[in-house]
Structure 1
């Protein structure tokens, strides 16, 4: 095991397997996986509990006033994965509901929420030894990460994977064409939004995982990690 820990930023398009890669890599290295999506869900849960978010309304002012009181942390559980904590309370199951997911997509558009969560993510990064995945980790959140990976695959491949994944989970998937349209729409939104758009950092290493399975992409990520840590130790 390498003595000196580094930070790893993994960015990429939706449904391209970057969260799977990030979780597997963190587990393999004994690093902390920072699930940026879970952080937005935790903010949404806090706001829902306070009554600031209902199905039709959102009290932005109340949230703006109290956003600094929301502290999100991660800790490993007995299963070897990790749980999300909101102000010291384990909320891993509570944040996985559809209501919270919908709330998360609403709070994530608020600049002041993004700013506060980026601040917390950067704080976690100071300790080193974190793997973080998202859309703007290598460009905005951890621009100094020692290893930056960018994962991509054509929309058709990603739509097929999402379709197969739903089937495997016993969910009756929408038509493949509808999933494909949704993937393309998300790509457009992610790459053109004003606040922290998705783009590959200049120093990121790209993987098109069209023909790569989960084990293969983990091995690739480990190879990149070993290459960079060996280089760092030589310098």
Structure 2
């Protein structure tokens, strides 16, 4: 099953979008982010964006949007995607909203914006991240709704659950080292159950999966209480 092929047409039909090439010289931006309120040509505005890399135009439900992508700098932070809505009366784009991704770039030409979501630093370092081979059944997207970005999650729930059950017996979960860290195993479990929860919003389902399929390890149920707290905040 190719989940991305099954999800994307639904999103496109729902949002009625089109992406197209435009002549940048025809557009202006009101620079409200820098509190100058200047009306600038698009090209002049783009050079003001720190770490600017790319932009595109998209029609969404009869509204025209400009999306830009930039990079804030830092070890692994942050890709910034910003949305500007077109004011037809005044013939300029004006800032609407933005979202940040911790080190992950976005294919800005493809809307809705496909992103890779995970909880970082849960008893492990950023680069020690592990994952199960279940992500073909799941995807997160950012859409723009009421001029604000919204993260939506799509997935094949039963396939995700089956994949989790099948792979848990092969997962070796070590005790925490002297620094209170493992090799990414606890983070792996948290992230997979978080994805399942985002699809079906049922704590009992993921609690049963954790209790019955996650191998025994030191402080297993204390760690679960911490996971639940993080999942509910997300």
Relative to the length of structure 1, the TM-score reads: 0.22
Higher normalized contact order (CA 8 Å, seq sep 6+, divided by chain length): 1
Give 1 or 2: higher helix fraction.
1
Relative to the length of structure 2, the TM-score reads: 0.22
Give 1 or 2: higher strand fraction.
2
